[in-house]
């Protein structure tokens, strides 16, 4: 049987949550911890919100949350299963919710890395800066490009995984490839299920940003980088726990970012985002 293309888990959000459970809401609580540490105001934009679990966690912590994603399927699931936030469809590489609207932008689970090109990353950061109020925070969590680009190629033997949900067993075969020229981690994943449904073949990729490269982009877009470190975080081993202090190294496979839009007016003319040159 020929495999159809698509994304099994994002096409079926309830299956996504079953495959990647977060019963303790570590991702949302980690983000809330950083927002409190740095004194963020209540209005939060969650970009790449997926199923809405983290947005609802932030809403439950007393924030006023707008949550955005490009997937209408994910947003429909979020509205039905994680009510509270305002959900909206938006492309994170070019979104517009108005100027000086939010006190913080949160971008978790490597969502930022779907900006594959410099132009898309520029669009993301320019949109974040426009929509953040003076003094607003950008909090992001993602794969660490320095970890992946600095290692040997991923194993040639695909990784096999399986899980059972509601009586159906799903089996995945995952192959990773590093495209160093484009700084992308490319993934091909095949899914089969024992319920007779056709197999699914997925193709996805994440931009691999080096820590200093990311710091450079942020500086060019007028952000002050407050923290850039590998752990602990919600996807690290060991995982973040309440009270844990942010680290100082950037050697692990995850990267955690806190940046601030300055509270005062910009000084001088803005630099060109691609070259850093003044006009």
Query: Region 149-178: what's the mean pLDDT?
Result: 91
Tell me: the pLDDT tens digits for 54-92? Answer: 999 999 999 999 999 999 999 999 999 999 999 999 999
Where does the pLDDT of residue 277 fall: very low under 50, low under 70, confident under 90, or very high at 90 and above?
Answer: very low
Spatial distance between the Cα atoms of 239 and 231, rounded to a whole number of angstroms: 8
State the burial class of residue 68 (Cβ atoms within 10 Å of its Cβ: 0-12, 13-18, 19+).
buried
Report residue 107: phi and psi, to 5°: -140, 100
Spatial distance between the Cα atoms of 68 and 52, rounded to a whole number of angstroms: 9
pTM, 2 dp: 0.92
> Would the pLDDT of 274 be above 80?
no
DSSP state of 91: -
Spatial distance between the Cα atoms of 68 and 97, rounded to a whole number of angstroms: 10
pLDDT at 270: 46
Cis amide bond preceding 115, omega within 30: no
Neighbours of 266 (CB within 10 A): 10
């Amino acid at each position: 049987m020929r495999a159809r293309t698509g994304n099994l888990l994002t096409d079926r959000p309830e299956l996504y949550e079953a495959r990647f459970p977060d019963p303790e809401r570590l991702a949302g609580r980690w983000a809330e911890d950083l927002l409190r540490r740095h004194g963020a105001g209540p209005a939060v934009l969650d970009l790449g919100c997926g199923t809405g679990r983290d947005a609802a966690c932030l809403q439950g912590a007393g924030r006023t949350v707008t949550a955005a994603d490009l997937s209408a399927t994910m947003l429909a699931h979020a509205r039905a299963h994680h009510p509270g936030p305002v959900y909206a469809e938006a492309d994170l590489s070019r979104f517009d919710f108005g100027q000086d609207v939010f006190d913080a932008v949160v971008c978790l689970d490597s969502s930022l890395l779907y900006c594959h090109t410099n132009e898309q990353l520029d669009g993301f950061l320019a949109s974040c800066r426009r929509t953040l109020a003076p003094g607003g925070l950008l909090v992001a969590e993602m794969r660490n490009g320095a970890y992946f680009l600095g290692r040997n190629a991923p194993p040639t033997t695909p990784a096999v995984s399986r899980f059972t949900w509601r009586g159906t067993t799903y089996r995945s075969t995952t192959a990773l490839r590093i495209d160093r020229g484009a700084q992308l981690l490319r993934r091909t994943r095949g899914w089969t299920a024992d319920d007779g449904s056709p197999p699914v073949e997925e193709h996805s990729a994440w931009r691999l940003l080096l820590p200093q490269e990311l710091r450079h982009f942020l500086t060019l877009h007028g952000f002050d980088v407050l923290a850039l470190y590998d752990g602990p975080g919600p996807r690290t081993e060991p995982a973040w726990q309440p009270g844990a202090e942010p680290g100082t190294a950037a050697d692990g496979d995850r990267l955690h970012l806190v940046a601030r839009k300055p509270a005062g007016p910009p000084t001088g003319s803005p630099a060109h985002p691609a070259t850093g040159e003044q006009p």
